[in-house]
A and B are shown apart, each in its own frame.
Chain A
């Protein structure tokens, strides 16, 4: 089963605009990660934020984490056509006997040139 939901399921924006995706999860986590997937290919790791961190930046990416609300957001600034992909959040729950990465349902992002 999925750990949580991502919102929106699909997002279309003009090139140059900012894109924001949200992720909610259900259980306590060790860290939360964001991945990108292009057209059914493998997933590419974008950024990892630990449970004791509230915000993290990497290039045009900004991730926030609110553990009290069990939610995270991914902001992509100044979007480019190459950003068109599906984006997944994944929670890393480090507990004995239950080590696994659990993915959200994903957001399909389309950048319109």
Chain B
């Protein structure tokens, strides 16, 4: 079956702009989580969505937001980009966290803010 698809793979934006990243989970998976990976902070949890509802949110400013659609596809948006937002953004899907199953990650979107 198809894996988790993240688009775009690479993105270059200017400070102050906004960006939207997309994640299509594995068919049937209803949980989608987003992570930011940087050399300095490692893998940091952004938020998790399940059945279109945000279940948990990490310690990121309000400039970071997300949503999930009825088909489980998810988007995350970052407004007023800062240089420090440059990172690899990873999306992970799972059928349901409550069952204690592993997550399937996409290949990520590498965002560079200049």
Contacts and interface: CB of A to CB of B under 8 A. Distances in A.
Contact of B102 (A30, A33, A104): A33
A33 B58 CA distance: 19
Residues of B contacting A: mostly = strand
B21 interface: no
Interface residues of B, number: 28
Contacts of A103: 35, 42-43
Given A94-B97, A100-B48, A101-B33, A45 B56 contact: no
Interface residues of A, number: 28
Nearest to A51: B100
B42 to A, nearest CB: 5
A100 B58 contact: yes
A99 B56 contact: yes
A42 B106 contact: yes
Q: 8 closest A-B pairs (Cβ-Cβ)? A: A45-B102, A103-B43, A42-B105, A43-B105, A42-B107, A100-B45, A31-B100, A99-B56
Interface of A: 1-2, 30-31, 33, 35, 40-45, 48, 50, 88, 90, 92, 94, 97-106
